[in-house]
């Protein structure tokens, strides 16, 4: 069994002009692919690891043999974090609604306060890493992680995240991380975050599935693993027709 790169679920130019097509091509096609490849190398020959999904690996880091623990941490994290990141990006999704919106108001006061705190986490992460909105024991929390560390390893449930590695924005924004972070609010898939929230909280799934364009037969044939991408623990069942899929682990294919 080997890990494979999950399809993006939308076109590389779908997030223009906030994230440019070239950045997306390299980020998904090269960087994400490299994490997949390096995770396969890290677990090769270790039967107890080879069968695990990236999410399972991230949850059991302390039990991973020391000689490959750092590699598994970095590359399983790189695989899972990016797959999750792609799933929460989409244009024209306006604002959070329903139970998630209520929880945001309760925890932060309003959406603007959440944005401020999230922005500080994204800007305050020195070097490479991520900022996250997570559920921690049922409570909304903002945090950041270094490198490819993931909240999943801490038992938290991600709802949103932003990649603040330079590879995520440098081609378009160069050193202007603040501008990239500010534009992030224009490409959040709030419907997906609401779904993750509902699943983690044991609530009914919010609203009707989004209307998305059906892929053509040719597109479907080009992305045969799209339906097989594995969901997160927070989202065990993909119930919407949203093309992005939650990551619990990159789907594996048999050798
Ligand atoms: Fe990245």
Sketch out the chain's domains with CATH numbers.
98-201 (3.55.40.20)
Q: What is the structure's pLDDT at 208?
A: 58
Cα(229)–Cα(249) distance, integer angstroms = 8
Token couple for 181? 């972070």
Cα(225) to ligand 1 centroid in Å equals 21
> What is the pLDDT averaged over residues 200-209?
80
Q: List, in sequence order, every residue forming a beta bridge with 157; answer none if it has no partner.
A: 135
User: Predicted confidence band at 209 (pLDDT cuts at 50, 70, 90)?
Assistant: low
Secondary structure of residue 132 in the 3-state scheme? strand
Contact (CB, 8 A) for 245 and 74:
no
What mean pLDDT is predicted for residues 191-203?
96
| pLDDT tens-digit map of 109-118 | 999 999 999 9
CA torsion sign for 145, 17, 8, 116 is: positive
Q: How far is the CA of 231 from the centre of ligand 1 (A)?
A: 20
**pLDDT of residue 236 exceeding 70:** no
* Mean of per-residue pLDDT scores for the chain: 86
Query: What separation in Å is there between the alpha carbon of 216 and the centre of ligand 1?
Result: 29
Residue whose tokens read 């899929």:
245
Centre of ligand 1 from the C-alpha of residue 15, in Å = 15
pTM: 0.83
Percentage of residues in the chain with pLDDT exceeding 90?
78
Q: What is the pLDDT of residues 136-165, one digit of tens each?
A: 999 999 999 999 999 999 999 999 999 999
Ligand 1 centroid to Cα of residue 83, in Å, is 10
| Closest listed residue to residue 133, CA positions, set 148, 123, 143 | 143
Which range has the worst mean pLDDT, 14-28, 35-49, 171-185, 219-233?
A: 219-233
**Distance (Å) from CA 207 to ligand 1 centroid:** 31
Q: Give the Cα separation of 139 and 159 in Å (integer).
A: 12
% the chain with pLDDT above 70: 81
pLDDT at site 16:
98
User: How far, in Å, from the CA of 202 to the mean position of ligand 1?
Assistant: 30
Q: Return the pLDDT at 206.
A: 76
Question: Burial level of 111, CB count in 10 A (0-12/13-18/19+)?
Answer: middle
In contact, 164 and 131? CB cutoff 8 Å: yes
Contact (Cβ atoms closer than 8 angstroms) between residue 120 and residue 126: no
**pLDDT for 6-37, tens place per residue?**
999 999 999 999 999 999 999 999 999 999 99
Residue 226: per-residue pLDDT: 29
Alpha carbon of 165 to ligand 1 centroid (Å): 6
Rounded to the nearest whole angstrom, what is the distance from the C-alpha of residue 183 to the centroid of ligand 1? 16
CA dist., res. 29 & res. 24, Å (int): 8
Q: Which two tokens stand for residue 44?
A: 């090769």
Specify the pLDDT at position 1.
Answer: 74
- pLDDT band of 205, cuts 50, 70, 90: confident
Quick one: pLDDT at residue 4? 97
């Amino acid at each position: 069994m080997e890990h494979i790169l999950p399809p993006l679920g939308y076109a590389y130019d779908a997030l223009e002009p906030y994230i440019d097509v070239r950045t997306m091509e390299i980020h998904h096609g090269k960087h994400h692919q490299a994490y997949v490849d390096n995770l396969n190398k890290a677990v090769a020959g270790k039967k107890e690891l080879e069968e695990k999904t990236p999410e399972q690996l991230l949850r059991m880091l302390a039990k991973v043999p020391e000689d490959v623990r750092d590699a598994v941490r970095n590359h399983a994290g790189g695989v899972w974090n990016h797959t999750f990141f792609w799933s929460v990006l989409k244009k024209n999704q306006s604002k959070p609604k329903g139970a998630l919106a209520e929880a945001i108001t309760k925890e932060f006061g309003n959406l603007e306060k959440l944005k401020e705190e999230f922005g500080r986490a994204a800007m305050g992460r020195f070097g490479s890493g991520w900022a996250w909105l997570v559920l921690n024991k049922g409570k909304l929390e903002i945090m950041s992680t270094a490198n490819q560390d993931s909240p999943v390893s801490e038992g938290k449930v991600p709802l949103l995240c932003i990649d603040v590695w330079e590879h995520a924005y440098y081609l378009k924004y160069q050193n202007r991380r603040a501008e990239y972070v500010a534009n992030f609010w224009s490409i959040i898939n709030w419907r997906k975050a609401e779904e993750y929230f509902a699943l983690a909280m044991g609530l009914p799934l919010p609203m009707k599935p989004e209307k998305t364009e059906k892929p053509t037969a040719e597109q479907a044939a080009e992305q045969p693993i799209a339906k097989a991408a594995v969901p997160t623990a927070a989202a065990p069942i993909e119930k919407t027709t949203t093309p992005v899929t939650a990551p619990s682990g990159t789907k594996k294919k048999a050798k």
